[in-house]
Structure 1
Amino acid sequence: MPGGRLTQQERQRIAAGLADGLAYAEIARRLERPTSTISREVTRNGGPGGYRPQLAHKATAQRARRGTTAHSHADRPSGGTAEDRIIELAVRSGMPRMMARVHVDLLLSEDGRRTAAELVRRLKVSPASVSVAVNSLVQYGYVRRERDPRRRRDIYVVDDEAWYHSMAISAQQTLESAQAAMAAAETLGPDSPVGQRLLRAGTFLERVIEDLKESADRWRTLLM
């Protein structure tokens, strides 16, 4: 399977596939690329109805030049680029900054793949910092780990399925909290003020998470 950045010829074939109404997965199969590479390429460059291969190729080159410049600065980003804004939103939602930087760097990579050494070099941080960040990302389902048998190293991958898996992991954790609250309500007495409060909270969370899981399963095909 080819790796690296998409060529202009591949982008022209993507445009032709979209014009023929092909799904991302079929275009990816024909190009021998991951489906996530195709969906990310199209999403970042106008969407299915506005994808133009020449403009996409030029925009990717410009992003690569900006990325090289941005990563040559200090550890904490100070500019107002799209990458910086995504990182700040992730940090505001509770994600540690280093974890957010690693995640965003993977998200914005051409094929969604980086080695630990590449992350260290691009982000100008220590191997230990990257190790902690990627281990957390793997634990929460945002990233998966692949093994390169030829060079005996790990490759960290983010693809479209990662959104489903991270949501499923988060939903399971919340469901366990809801079940713990309802169990505590039984122990304390469901008729007591505290028991009633815990029972209402647990029931609410359980119903919401069940709806969320059903919705994620129903729409999972959009990621394929």
Structure 2
Amino acid sequence: MPGGRLTRQDRQHIAAGLAEGLTYAEIARRLARPTSTITREITRNGGPGDYRPDQAHQATERRARRRKPAPSPTAPAATDAHGRDPKAVHNFEERFAALMAKTGLPRMTARVLACLYATDAGSLTAADLVQRLHVSPASISKAISDLEGQELIRRERDPRRRRDRYVINDDVWYRAWLASARMNAILADAALQGAETLGTATPAGVRLEDMSQFLQHVGQDMIQAAEHWRQVFSDRRTADR
């Protein structure tokens, strides 16, 4: 079919066209193929004087077999120290990262955070992250910078390995929630300033003032909810000890 691989019958038509003295373009039109395809086929297989359709077809099949990668041996199923399937853990990390990315986190930042969260130690070096996520050090550095800026992780010096480790806090979601509440407060102040600038009696001013009040109330509710959960969480951990 046009655009697909040349068949043995196509190659026989090419040989017949050459025997008739047709040009490459004329042969291509007969087969509804690009002229470049016919030119490459004939040139690769001996030229117009030595083109043999059966030999050309066999040579093409040999090249296709050489290009096909050999199947990699199936690695035996392995588990980690806790009996978990590493593949299942990896799949969870990817799904978790994809969900966090939908909340607005950059994709790589979400992958680093998910990786740290699913690590028993709760900490990894930049080199560890590069190896686990199969990305460049620059990508890890950018993601780490984003997470540190949001106070979702902290940096600790590992004296044994003479490099920094990036640690996820146990109260990471509490910190993230408070960071969101602080941003709401900043937006509320900006909206109120806008209302005063535009005039609180104008339609635009009223709209901005409503926005400011909404964000202020939501921000306060977020802080109260976070503090309540932190106390419940702390009490539960104390009881479990």
TM-score (norm 1): 0.64
Q: Write the mapping of 1:44-63 to structure 2, written as runs, cut at 5 A.
A: 60-63=82-85
1:94 equivalenced with 2:116 (yes/no): no
The one-letter code matched in structure 2 to 1:213 is I
CA distance in 2, matches of 1:58, 1:129: 27
Secondary structure (helix, strand or coil) at the match of 1:117 reads helix
Does 2:130 match 1:108? Answer: no
After superposition, the CA RMSD in angstroms is 2.0
Larger radius of gyration: 2
What displacement does 1:146 show? 1.4
Three-state SS of the structure 2 residue aligned to 1:88 is helix
Q: 1:90 & 1:222 partners in 2: Cα distance?
A: 25
Is 1:137 aligned with 2:137?
no
Amino acid at match of 1:180: A
Task: Report the CA distance between 1:217 and its aligned residue.
Answer: 1.3
Gap regions ≥5 residues in structure 2: 1-78, 235-241
2 CA distance for matches of 1:144 and 1:221? 22
Identity rate, percent: 42
Q: Is the 8 A contact 1:160 1:223 kept in 2?
A: no
Q: Which runs of 4+ in 1 moved over 6 A?
A: none
Matched to 2:219, the amino acid is I
**What SS does the aligned partner of 1:163 have?**
helix
Aligned ranges for residues 7-156 of structure 1 at < 5 Å?
A: 60-64=82-86, 66-67=88-89, 70=90, 81-156=91-166
Q: TM-score, normalised by structure 2?
A: 0.60
What 5-or-longer segments of structure 1 have no aligned partner?
Answer: 1-56, 71-80
Displacement after TM superposition at 1:223 (Å): 4.1
Larger RCO, structure (CA 8 Å, separation 6 or more):
1
Cα separation, partners in 2 of 1:63 and 1:138, compared to 1, 3 Å: farther
State the shift of 1:152 in Å. 2.9
Write the distance in 1 (CA, Å) between the matches of 2:209 and 2:137.
45
